[in-house]
């Protein structure tokens, strides 16, 4: 566990995914984007439930596609904030990820880029933390 995880508030919003190959998606999110495994519950080859932490705070949940009458795999997108956009960009480039939008500096400030994961989901990585809350 990193110091950031110990001090970051617990997430209260969890983007969630179903994946055709959940173990591969977990590896991609950890190895390419830099998420950390918090919990992975398996039943054989099936990932029943997984939680991946984003080191500065927050995280995602995911599991294998299964016919349980609940919900099914669909593509989605997420924006992930980091102070090290160039470091994540370097990992993405080294991994040969499917780049949707290369590293750039948008008009609203900061840096960002977008990639597609092996399941077809879009991940935007950037330094923009959103408008201040009032």
Per-residue pLDDT of 44-77, as tens digits, reads 989 999 999 999 888 999 999 887 766 666 778 8
Q: What is the pLDDT of residues 25-46, one digit of tens each?
A: 999 999 999 999 999 999 998 9
Higher pLDDT, 107 or 113: 113
Of 95, 90, 87, which Cα lies nearest the Cα of 116? Answer: 95
**How far, in Å, CA of 34 to CA of 49, rounded?**
19
The backbone torsions φ and ψ at residue 63, rounded to the nearest 5 degrees and listed phi first, read -160, 170
pTM of the entire structure?
Answer: 0.82
Please give the CATH architecture assigned to the domain spanning 3-126.
Answer: Roll (3.10)
Contact 56, 10 (CB under 8 A): no
Q: What is the mean pLDDT of residues 84-101?
A: 97
> Residue ranges of the domains in the chain?
3-126
- The alpha helices in the chain, defined as continuous H runs, are 3-7, 22-28, 85-95
| DSSP single-letter state for residue 75 | -
Per-residue confidence (pLDDT) for residue 69, from 0 to 100: 67
pLDDT tens across 2-21, in order?
444 456 666 667 888 899 99
């Amino acid at each position: 566990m990193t110091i950031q995880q110990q001090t970051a508030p617990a997430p209260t919003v969890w983007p969630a995914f179903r994946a055709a190959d959940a173990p591969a998606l977990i590896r991609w999110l950890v190895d390419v984007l830099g998420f950390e495994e918090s919990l992975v519950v398996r039943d054989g080859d099936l990932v029943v439930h997984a939680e991946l932490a984003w080191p500065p705070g927050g995280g995602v949940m995911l599991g294998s596609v299964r016919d349980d009458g609940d919900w099914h795999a669909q593509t989605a997108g997420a924006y992930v904030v980091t102070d090290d956009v160039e470091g994540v960009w370097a990992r993405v480039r080294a991994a040969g990820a499917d780049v949707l939008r290369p590293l750039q500096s948008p008009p609203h400030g900061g840096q960002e880029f977008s990639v597609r994961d092996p399941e077809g989901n879009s991940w935007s990585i950037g330094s923009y933390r959103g408008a201040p809350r009032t």
